[in-house]
Amino acid sequence: MQQLYIIKIGGNIIDDEATLALFLKDIASINCPKILIHGGGKLATTLAEQMGVKQTMVAGRRITDADTLKIVTMVYAGFINKNIVAKLNANNCAAIGLTGADANLIAAHKRSNNTIDYGFVGDIDLVNSAVVDSMLQQNFTIVVAPITCDSTGQLLNTNADSIANEIAKAMSILYKVSLIYCFEKNGVLQNANDDDSVINKISTVDYEQLKAKQVISGGMIPKLDNAFAALQHGVQHVCIGHANNVLQLINKQTGTVITND
């Protein structure tokens, strides 16, 4: 099977123009089918402040009301997505920027929750692997913004890690998939204050121990849960590391590798 790289970048990388430019140059140099999924960044928060749209957080999560949905659609699908696409093009990497709504890429539904109303937040039902494959075979690098829609045409704010994970699982039927989570740290750290304390490898047994010792906590837990789920659904290689080292991450020379051992 052909190699496919699915790379997620977080908001902190997007916010720094110089870091993003170098990262996209690296991405463009990868001579393989590839999909880039980006998150948000500070721009959505700044724009909400400028527009006087109050952001409500419940249990650490942003509630997506109608105005917030408008903002994230503008920022994620508009500004960030199109800037990434244009910069990849300039690096001779033909890119196509999509949301889950485009080309029926992702079928989603509005999250229902009896205790918390998250608003216009989407959970993924299905990734259209045939459409993704067709675009990859046309040599396009696909850039996905974390917006989906439901069958009624309602746009939905959708977690970018989940999108990366679901695309990786769906494409593992057709490709040998590597799923790479890039962020502003060198990997999963043994000591949160020491950037050099990267844990090279985390197995399922290690994971339980690291959670019990609270070495791994907070936002890293859903990320790693996603990572293990991907491995269980046919994804061959999952790793987490710094966006500056994306080429070394791909070559398994740095970062934290997640294994199903």
Nearer to a second copy, 96 or 192 (CB): 96
Binding pattern to a second copy, positions 102-121, x when CB under 8 A? xxx-----------------
Residue from 3, 19, 89, 129 touching a second copy (CB under 8 A): that is 89
Closest CA to 241 of 4, 2, 26: 26
Give Cα 82 distance to the centre of its chain. 16
Q: Is 19 in the site for a second copy (CB under 8 A)?
A: no
Q: Is 155 in the site for a second copy (CB under 8 A)?
A: yes
Of 30-59, which residues contact a second copy (CB under 8 A)?
Answer: 47, 50-52
Task: Please identify, among the stretches 12-20, 68-76, 175-183, 223-231, the one whose residues bind a second copy according to the rule CB under 8 A.
Answer: 68-76
Token duo for residue 230? 């991907």
Token duo for residue 133? 């494959």
In this structure, are residues 2 and 175 in contact, taking their beta carbons and an 8 Å threshold? yes
Other Cβ atoms within 10 Å of 251 Cβ, number: 9
State how far the Cα of 15 lies from the Cα of 13, in Å rounded to an integer.
5
State how far the Cα of 2 lies from the Cα of 17, in Å rounded to an integer.
32
Q: How much of the chain is in helix, strand and coil states, percent to nearest 5?
A: 40, 25, 35
Residue from 8, 38, 62, 87 touching a second copy (CB under 8 A): that is 87
Nearer to a second copy, 1 or 130 (CB): 130
State how far the Cα of 27 lies from the Cα of 86, in Å rounded to an integer.
13
Nearest approach, Cβ of residue 75 and a second copy (Å):
6
Q: Is 149 in the site for a second copy (CB under 8 A)?
A: yes
* Binding positions for a second copy, rule: CB under 8 A: 47, 50-52, 70, 73-79, 81-83, 85-91, 94-99, 101-104, 131, 134, 138, 140, 147, 149, 151-155
